Amino acid sequence: MASLGVRRERAAQTEAALKEAAKRVFARSGYLTAKITDITAEAGRAAGSFYSHFAGKEELLEALLVDLLAGADQGVAAPGHSTDFTDPAAIRWHVDAFWRFFRANQAVMVALHQAAMVDERFARRLRELLAPDIAHLAEHLRHITAAGGELPGDPLVVASAIGALMWQFAYTWLVAGGEEIGRSLSDEEAVDTLAALIHRGVAGVAR
């Protein structure tokens, strides 16, 4: 009965080791380039053991995505979350949350992004992951029009632009390391600049 524990425990440890190893390998060489045997080697297991846990690299990524979503729910339901986008602090809060989330889950985010280029299933998954945030942003933007402000365009389109900006800016600086610019950037400066740009962009004409 409880004696089932040792085997299960061992299997669970191996599965966890494979997932952690995968994140490291993805971060190092990219999801698309990563070989199954790179992951098993990194985890210190034999090649064959991989298939006791996952049907393939895609399923492993799905599992990582599930973990990520489980963790994300905590963040979204966070405290002190003002939705009034006429308030610069509310915008900064959202930018900061995104930045932290991206940084914390970089390996999986980038892996998903890469998988999406090659596999329509993951393209859909990634869209599903980001779409609620866009809708969420659009909702907040309506506070601005409600307060008499004028947005630079349709709320949904503006929200998608903000999402595009945050995503690609984070990618440029956190993943590529700002190498196309030849300069480094602190988290604080990144968030401040993004928040200021967005606040002016959406609220600049208010009143």
Q: Considering the rule CB under 7 A, would residue 10 count as an interface residue with DNA? A: yes
> Which residues, 6 or more positions from 117, have their beta carbon under 8 angstroms from its beta carbon?
32, 123
| Closer residue to its own copies (CB): 90 or 134 | 134
CA gap 146, 155 in Å, rounded: 12
Q: Binding segment for its own copies among 4-12, 44-52, 63-71, 158-166 (CB under 8 A)?
A: 158-166
Query: Token pair for residue 172?
Result: 């440029």
User: Burial of 177 by CB count in 10 Å (0-12 exposed, 13-18 middle, 19+ buried)?
Assistant: exposed
Q: Does 127 bind its own copies (CB under 8 A)?
A: yes
> In the complex, what is the shortest distance from the CB of residue 34 to DNA, in angstroms, rounded to a whole number?
7
Q: Does 11 bind DNA (CB under 7 A)?
A: yes
The answer to whether the beta carbons of residues 100 and 52 sit under 8 Å apart is no
Does 8 bind DNA (CB under 7 A)? Our answer is yes
Helix (H) or strand (E) holding 128: helix 120-146
Q: Which does 122 bind (CB under 5 to 8 A by kind): its own copies, DNA, none?
A: none
Residue 93, both tokens: 């809060």
Output the smallest distance, CB 121 to its own copies, in A: 13
* Dist. CA 54–CA 35, nearest whole Å: 14
Contact present, 194 and 169 (Cβ < 8 Å): yes
Residue 69 interacting with its own copies (CB under 8 A): no
From the list its own copies, DNA, none, partner contacted by residue 204 (C-beta under 5 to 8 A by kind): its own copies
Three-state DSSP class for residue 78:
coil
Among 19, 23, 57, 94, binds DNA (CB under 7 A): 57
Which residues of the chain form contacts with its own copies (CB under 8 A)? 30, 32-33, 114, 117-118, 123, 127, 130-131, 134, 152-154, 156-158, 160-161, 164-165, 167-169, 171-173, 176, 178-181, 183, 185, 189-190, 192-194, 196-198, 200-202, 204-205
